[in-house]
Amino acid sequence: MKHGASEKDAFAARARRSPGRGLTAAGLVIGGATLVAARALPPVPGMPSTSAADLDPTQLASTAGIPAQADDEGYSIEHEIIIRRCQRCHERDDEGRMTRISYERKTPEGWQTSVRRMVALNDVSLGPDEAREVVRYLSNRQGLAPEELEPGRFEVERRLIEHVYEADRDVENTCIQCHSMGRVITQRRTREEWELLMATHRGLYPLVDFQGFQRGGDGPQPVDEAIDHLSEAFPLETPDWSAWSASMRTPRLDGTWALAGFEPGKGRIFGTVEISAGDAPDEFRSRASYTYAESGEEVSRSGQSIVYTGYQWRGRSNPGGADELREVMTVDRGWRRMTGRWFSGSYDEFGPDVTLTRAGGDPVVSGVHPPAVRTGAASAELRVHGVGLPANPDPADFDFGPGIQVESAAGGDGSRVTLRVSVDDEAAVGGRDLFLGGVSLADAVQVHDGVDRLEVTPRAGMARIGGANFPKGYQPYDAIGWDDGPDGEPNTEDDLRLGRVPVTWSMEEYTATFDDDDIQYVGALGPDGIFTPAIDGPNASREGNRNNIGDVWVVATYAGSDAAAGGEGALRARAHLIVTVPLYLKFDPWQGVPAGRLVP
């Protein structure tokens, strides 16, 4: 490695390599791993020793003990495995603080990446069970508070979005040359540690100087400006972490939870999740049953999970199966609600956004499907989904407000009630709350007077060719109908989102060059709106033996009877799709680590 003199000295003082052995074949898993039976419920590494059974989420911080406080900008490391396996490179001082390790805080995924890098590049000898314990301890003792994680949740939930870091666009530009800004904002470090991280970048990836760290000339360079900003914006010690770590505890999540969600390409889901205690206080087992509202497809899943830092749910359901999903959710402070994403795919592109609501004595109304009903509709079917709904419902108990009459109601097992409703011709358009007994659901259904426009989401999508040497990266699309709302004007604040509408899917050339022919090679768009890319590698049938990459328009056409009020015909909308090469580095850096399931 080559560093500047000061960087090299600092880096050498902080870390020295030592020989050892690699990680064994089982790999490192931070959620839903095969768990060792421990009926005695052992203490959770890095968490307070106070029993969660003795605590209530509304109790004051003082009742929970203090699991970790930075002493003079650094956390003491008391975990035997970390001390034994890491201190040959990471020196431990008289206060128990270890170089590099004690001066940063991260998500479970961030700590796991560090452990994997140590094993792959520095020959650290660490077994899979030991590695899990290390990640668990550091995630609990040196994690992030919920408020700190919130802006970067898209990173751990593996969302492909166009994130904009408004605090400093120049620093963002420096960092996103190689990775998302989410990786940065989900860490906290001392200033010296931010400096050492930049030195590590330059040592492992020398091209960063040309890609973003240096711009030539005298004066501060982008890397210097990044250190200044990040050390101020994301310091090691924060009030949010001080407050959270003082009251942190393992949550009590046992019971029934109402599930509502949306999966791109397939639509809304409703069901239940039964959660029970696992083999340790922070481990849980789950059984989910849900239905896709549009197709009626029923799904059952079972899984295991760990909750890190008192609120970060990480799990896997149907592990090892073709339909395995990784689960990343955030538990709210009152232990009443969880939100996040369940996902799969080589690029984490499939799976639903989910909301879990704890079910108690009162019914829980998760949603109404279809989510929109037109003025003048007669005997339209609406299905109310939830938990604890009446088995023998009275139509009079369901109140959608003026202009909607509930004609009949049929119950069942308490998870769904089927209503027949009529809507007045002159009913006011807009969202309607549903009241059922003592509970309600805001904007349960939209009353509209026609589909005025169409939107294809995402507006900019990306797929990756594959199937020969690397896996394919798919891209699901949805067609969303909109009503112009009470003001009759499109793209204003009162517009009504009507949900997915049935469309015909097609592609058009995105003309970027003369004689552009990408549409012939990039792949195919299915009738469900899911794009399947072509195979990776040079294509002998394409001019210049080029790969099957390119740009196209994804087009949706809606010809429903309520399209374009005023009789103007079918509605069309389109979105941009980029079909690009595989993400090679996703599959290459850990070749030195024996095969095993590793969480990205």
Contact 480, 413 (CB under 8 A): no
Does position 598 have pLDDT exceeding 60, yes or no?
Answer: no
Does position 166 have pLDDT exceeding 80, yes or no?
Answer: yes
- Give the pLDDT score at 524: 98
Are both 343 and 380 inside the same structural domain?
A: no
Average pLDDT on 138-159 reads 97
Kind and range of the H or E run holding 463: strand 460-464
| CA-closest candidate to residue 137, choices 158, 183, 106, 116 | 106
Structure tokens, 593? 């680590």
Last residue of a domain, one of 205, 223, 248: 248
Tokens 């896996």 -> residue: 471
What is the rounded CA–CA span in Å between residue 380 and residue 322?
38
Q: pLDDT confidence of 68, banded at 50, 70, 90?
A: low
Which carries the bigger pLDDT value, residue 72 or residue 528? Answer: 528
Are both 116 and 185 inside the same structural domain?
A: yes
- Give the pLDDT score at 58: 41
Q: Taking the CA atoms of 348, 352, 357 and 358 in sequence, report the sign of the dihedral they define.
A: negative
Are both 131 and 274 inside the same structural domain?
A: no
Residue type, 165: Y
295: in domain? yes
Last residue of a domain, one of 328, 358, 388: 358
376 Cβ contact partners less than 8 Å away, ≥ 6 residues apart? 423, 424, 425
What is the rounded CA–CA span in Å between residue 194 and residue 105?
12
- Give the pLDDT score at 51: 46
Contact 507, 461 (CB under 8 A): no
* Residues recorded for the chain: 600
- Count up the domains in the chain and report the number: 4
599: in domain? no
Up-side HSE of residue 458: CA atoms within 13 Å toward CB? 16
Does position 133 have pLDDT exceeding 70, yes or no?
Answer: yes
CATH number at residue 409: 2.60.40.10
> Is the peptide bond prior to 370 cis by the omega test (within 30 degrees of 0)?
yes
Are both 369 and 242 inside the same structural domain?
A: no
Q: Which domain holds residue 390?
A: 364-448
65: in domain? yes
Average pLDDT on 353-371 reads 96
518: in domain? yes
Last residue of a domain, one of 218, 248, 278: 248
Q: pTM for the complete prediction?
A: 0.87
Does position 597 have pLDDT exceeding 60, yes or no?
Answer: no
Q: pLDDT confidence of 100, banded at 50, 70, 90?
A: very high
Does position 53 have pLDDT exceeding 50, yes or no?
Answer: no
Q: pLDDT confidence of 7, banded at 50, 70, 90?
A: very low
- Give the pLDDT score at 563: 67
596: in domain? no
- Give the pLDDT score at 508: 97
